[in-house]
Structure 1
Amino acid sequence: MIEDANQVPAGTVLEADVCVVGGGAAGISLALALSGKGLSIVLLEAGKHSQDAPAQALYEGEVADEQMHSPTHRYRLRGLGGSTSLWGGRCMPYDPIDFEERSWVPHSGWPVAYEELVPYYVAANNLAEAGRYAYDAREAFPFSPPMIAGFTSDIVRTTGLERFSCPTHFGKRYARRLQLAPDIRVLRGAVCTGIRLQADGSAVRALDIATLEGNRFGVRARASVLATGGLETARLLLCSNDVTPAGVGNQFDVVGRYYQCHIAGNVGTLTVNGPPSDVRHGYEVAPDGVYCRRRLSIAPARQRQHQLLNAVARLHFPKITDPSHGSGVLSGLFLARKMISYEYGKRLADRKPPTLADYARHLFNVASDPLDTAAFLAHWVSRRTLAQRKFPSVILRNRINRFSLEVQSEQQPLATSRVQLCDRTDPLGMRRIRVDWRYSRDDIDSVAQTLDLMAAELARSGAGRFSYQRATLEEDLLRYGAYGGHHIGTARMGPDPRTSVVDRDCKLHAVSGLYVAGSAAFPTSSQANPTLTIIALSLRLADHLAQRLKPATAPALEVVA
């Protein structure tokens, strides 16, 4: 059932086998996977709906440098479905090399192997509605031409795919299943404000729950799972300091550290030889109707040889803010940037304010390119605005085989990159967070080496040429700061409590019955968007909990005073 948390009698304690804190992709996937296993589940969601402004304001905090990191209430939403109400739908698994301990990547290595996650990736793909689990073009499109005709390389791979969800809003898509499940109780507007431990700190006694309307109650569960995202998970652990002054699970000052996003930006100019038909730079539709897109990457053996961080590059159009591209479509997007959501409009801004001459040139581009602009608008309305499975992003007609490379790279985990508490409090009395995201020079150098290898292989094959300005690479990659809403690593998993917060089963090292679901537990960030791995890891956790908590008979959900 789904109900308002204000209907819970004040001061009572709900009893359940599993309490899941957070109703986003991780929490909903976990709850659905546990349903039918003879367990009682309480799912707490802080927002009442996707546009719950008072609940959203609870996310507000501080950032050390707003040029380097977006405000803390951006890129994540409260409400059933969480941030899946605004995501772009890009799905891809992490690569096998991401799970390895790599000598050139400090603090790398997962206690979970890639092979262990594969069955859960397949199931995650279904939940995300990303179609068949096939992320290699040779498998998904066996009779399709290559990404770039005539380009073959043992160093640069061109067969990797991204698959795109509808994008699926988990709150809307799975609300009916949650409503009808007899063993799941969803409470909307329920904010977890504290984790109360036993006096010796070894186990969870109860969770404190509050609503913005003033109701307060508790939840006592055999297992409690924090599925609140990379920033809020750290906040909740740090704020819960009545028994352990440094915060729950923070005896070695690891909670909130090793915070990662992605290093990303548009770089350089790629000119492909031959006709435009020789390049597959846009979206292809798989037999199951799912949009897919190819990208460039460095083969794992070469990553090891050159000691590179994992990265991918997509063929992209020129920089939107520069009107010299002459495209009416791109200029139209630039002029309409203030009507586009923050999450995507940010990519249409520049640190250098546009001049009147820039505006004039953009207007000229729109006026002089009416046919392409009209065709784009018609396509956008029919294939995205009105479509159930939406066309993922802007793709322009390939006229001259000239592109920039849209790079997305992992970053080294740094202990100095962290989420901490600040002195300000929210209306429920919780301290707000302060984000100090950092990157290293090695991150930029690794991208440079990756681009150099791609340029050399393109030139060697005669397929094309790529050039970029090494002197401005760091500025190009950090033009918009930390990329997107990929909040990773603040409660990382590992075997050693001195450098990690949770073990391979996502259980806190020092606290019995307390778990973390989501990207907070990731040790490294890979090249990939995290959503598919978030879901897969949550499904794996569900199997672990179902086995550990397996009852002799199914208990009933009850409320006790």
Structure 2
Amino acid sequence: MSTQEFDADLIVIGSGVMGGIIASRVAKAGKSVIILEAGPRVKRADIVETYRNAPVKLSLANMKAQGSGSPFPNPPHIPSTYGKYLVQTGPVSYPTKYLRVVGGTTWHFGSALWRMIPNDFKLKTLYGRGRDWPIGYDELEPYYCEAEAELGVTGVDGQDESGHGGQAWPPRSKPFPMKGLNVPYFMQRMDEMLRPGGYNPVMEPHGRASRPYGNRPVCGGNNNCNPVCPIGAKYDGSQHIDLAERAGAKLLENAVVYKIEHGSDNKITAVNYKSPDGTSHRLTARHFVLAAYAIEGPKLLLMSTSEKFPNGIANSSDQVGRNLMGHTGISMNVMTNEDVWPGQGPTELLVYLNYRDGEFRKDIPSYKTKFRNTVTSAQTASDLLAKGVLGSQLDSEIRRISARSLNIAVDFETEAQPQNRITPSKTKTDAIGLPVPEIYYSVNDYWNAGRDFAVKDLQKMAGLINADVLKVDTKHQDRQHIMGTTIMGDDPKDSVVDRDCRTHDHPNLFIAGTGVMPSSSCMNPTLTGAALSVRIADQLLKEI
């Protein structure tokens, strides 16, 4: 086909951070780009106002906006994941919450932007667990730097992110784009009490501006980063979509892609999408990027069957949808015996990483322990009122609980297991007739061993900070970190994409996002997905 016979040089399915990075870079190079987003464009002012008026805000259980507290739209053609959209079939629930709007899930993410460390890429070789990556840290490091600049990461240079208080780790060729924010009193006081026990604090790298950065103002410390930054100081994917559009990319919102077509040479030729009214449309391109998140992405691939690919696009290995991972966690609520006042500044976390890496990973998963910098005053007041507490006693109790109540959470690394998977439901469809995602998820004895070990570790920490343990919740908490389902590997027989994130089966189809990760580490995956997306963009520009 000639250039004129294509609708675009590149079609990107999904407008989150991964799709936005790729679309903006390719569009800036003068190539024609179409971005397809299943959901609508949203305005920050509208989301903030909806959240301000929501009857439910924060839950002590997981500090996430719940149910009616989610201020993002819920139109029939893209049902909200806060409802019953995701069908759970496994022994462990995987109730993840992602957004189908222009800009994607980074609108409501906590903004943690961590690098993986070198040993995370060699899990099987070093510790006999999970899978190795076909690429290593050294190969990805320059792309980590570019991704940090793209997202505007704030962090502490020279910090040992292994948690051992030694030399800077992991290796970096460039400093963070922005210096860290001021450390609040709560975190300073935790450090004073925990350091004698061998716990060295690590300040979380994140996507909030500590100086004016692009169009973003300095973080005002509003402390409701989830579900929405009210002033736009925190990065979200809509910012890259804006850049892409200014460079000439075309965005089609409310365009739900439901089928991918291929030619006789196995190259992808077109995508089909539905509008909210159910009408179908078709677009062609030279190259395609699937950046629709690690649940919607594999669902689309599995729905796109043909005579030549009866099991779906990119699925000759039968690995599409499989190897779903997440940071399934536990938590502990405590009440300190002094005022420590969490909640000052943004929801940036104080993190301890004593068990991020080491020989112990042969027996238990690596894990991250985080002190949440949040206060649930509204929930506290509601609970006290339900108990009949009124007047000056109500005021006193709200102050006491707000000043002393802490939630300490653990995020565990999980292994890629083929039985943990996403499939299109055979019995349930959405408003435009498309199957909803069906999820089977479980944990193994490796995770159970980590849970038992970490419970004792949490209790030790509670003793060091002189706190009374109110509750330990070990019921498989979901951390909203979706990984796996289209994993990377050198062997087309047991992976979906190659080291360049190109599908083994289709030379002009790339998959962007955390779904390609063969292992999870114990750290938030967004920055790693972004680094891989920068790498995909570079490869595309060599080929288009």
User: What is the CA deviation profile of residues 82-111 of structure 1, one whole-angstrom value per residue up to 9, with x for unaligned ones?
Assistant: 222322323322233322233545332222
- Structure 1 residues 249 and 226, CA, compared in 2 at 3 Å: closer, same or farther? same
Q: Which residue matches 1:333? A: 379
2:285 to 221, 224, 227: 221
Q: Secondary structure at the match of 1:122?
A: helix
Q: Within the alignment, does 1:443 sit opposite 2:447 as a pair?
A: yes
Where relative contact order (Cα < 8 A, 6+ residues apart) is larger, the structure is: 1
Map of 1:255-404 to 2, 5 A cutoff? 255-267=320-332, 282=342, 292-298=348-354, 300=356, 302-304=358-360, 307-315=363-371, 330=376, 332-333=378-379, 362-364=387-389, 368-370=393-395, 373=398, 396-398=402-404
Residue-pair matches, total: 462
Verify: 1:16 aligned to 2:25, yes or no.
no
Tell me by how many angstroms 1:254 deviates.
Answer: 1.0
Alignment check: 8 A CA contact 1:224 1:515 kept: yes
Residue of structure 2 in register with 1:106 after alignment: 129
Q: CA deviation at 1:67?
A: 7.2
- Name the residue aligned to 1:5: none
Over residues 34-82 of structure 1, what are the superposed CA-to-partner deviations in whole Å (9 max), with x where a residue is unaligned?
A: 2322322111112233426133229734221697232xxx622222112
Judge conservation of contact 1:270–1:404 (CA < 8 Å) in 2: no
How is 1:72-221 mapped onto 2 (pairs within 5 angstroms)? 75-102=97-124, 104=127, 106-132=129-155, 134=157, 136=159, 148-149=191-192, 152=195, 156-165=199-208, 167=229, 168=234, 170=236, 172-182=238-248, 184-199=249-264, 202-221=266-285
For the pair shown, the structure with the greater C-alpha radius of gyration is: 1
Runs of 5+ consecutive residues of structure 2 not aligned to the other structure: 43-72, 169-178, 209-218, 220-228
SS of residue in 2 equivalent to 1:539: helix
In structure 1, C-alpha distance between the alignment counterparts of 2:534 and 2:137, rounded to whole Å: 14
1:218 shift after superposition: 2.3
Change over 3 Å in CA distance of 1:482–1:239 after alignment to 2 = farther
1:58 and 1:404 map into 2 onto residues whose CA distance is 27
| 2:309 is the alignment partner of 1:244 | yes
C-alpha distance in structure 1 between counterparts of 2:467 and 2:193, whole Å: 16
Note if contact 2:384-2:394 (Cα within 8 Å) is conserved in structure 1: no
Deviation at 1:437? Answer: 1.5
What is the alpha-carbon distance in structure 2 between the residues aligned to residue 482 and residue 455 of structure 1?
18
Deviations 1:505-527 (A, max 9, x none): 11111211111101111112222
The verdict on how the C-alpha distance between 1:311 and 1:222 changes in structure 2, with shifts beyond 3 A counting, is same
State the shift of 1:492 in Å: 0.8
Q: State the partner residue of 1:498.
A: 493
The answer on 1:55 being equivalent to 2:72 is no
**Matched residues in 2 for 1:81 and 1:296: separation?**
31
| Equivalent position SS for 2:260 | strand
Residue 222 of structure 2: aligned partner: none
* CA distance 1:176–1:159, change in 2 (3 Å): closer
Residues 365, 450 of structure 2: 8 Å contact kept: yes
**Offset of residue 362 of structure 1:** 4.8
- Alignment of 1:64 with 2:64, yes or no, is no
AA partner of residue 309 (structure 1): P
Of all paired residues, the percent bearing the same amino acid is 23
Deviation at 1:421, TM superposition (A): 2.0
**Cross-structure match for 1:486:** 481
Tell me how far apart the structure 2 counterparts of residues 487 and 505 of structure 1 sit (CA, whole Å). 20
In the alignment, is the contact (CA less than 8 A) between 2:156 and 2:180 conserved in 1?
A: no
1:45 is matched with which residue? 37
1:406 maps to which of 403, 406, 409: 409
Q: CA RMSD in A?
A: 3.9
Shift of residue 23 of structure 1? 0.7
Q: TM-score, normalised by structure 1?
A: 0.71
CA–CA separation in structure 2 for the residues paired with 1:283 and 1:61: 32
Q: Distance between the aligned counterparts of 2:102 and 2:22, measured in 1?
A: 14
Q: Contact conserved, 1:490 with 1:520, CA < 8 A, in 2? A: yes
Q: Secondary structure at the match of 1:434?
A: strand
Residues 324-381 of structure 1: CA deviation (Å, up to 9, x unaligned): xxxxx75731565xxxxxxxxxxxxxxxxxxxxx7666552886241574x79xxxxx
Native 8 Å contact 1:259 1:417 kept in 2:
yes
Deviation at 1:488, TM superposition (A): 1.3
Are the structure 2 counterparts of residues 210 and 271 from structure 1 closer, same or farther at C-alpha, using a change threshold of 3 Å? closer
For residues 400-451 of structure 1, what are the alpha-carbon distances to aligned partners after superposition, in whole Å with 9 as ceiling and x for unaligned?
xx85531111212221111112223445443332111211132021233345
Name the aligned partner's letter for residue 526 of structure 1.
S
Deviation at 1:222, TM superposition (A): 2.2
- Once the two structures are TM-superposed, the CA of residue 152 in structure 1 deviates from its matched residue by 5.0
Residue identity opposite 2:117 in structure 1 = D
Q: How far apart, in 1, do the equivalents of 2:86 and 2:343 lie?
A: 38
Q: Assess, with a 3 A threshold, how the Cα gap between structure 1 residues 44 and 515 changes in structure 2: closer, same or farther.
A: same
Comparing 234-243 and 204-213, the one that deviates more: 204-213
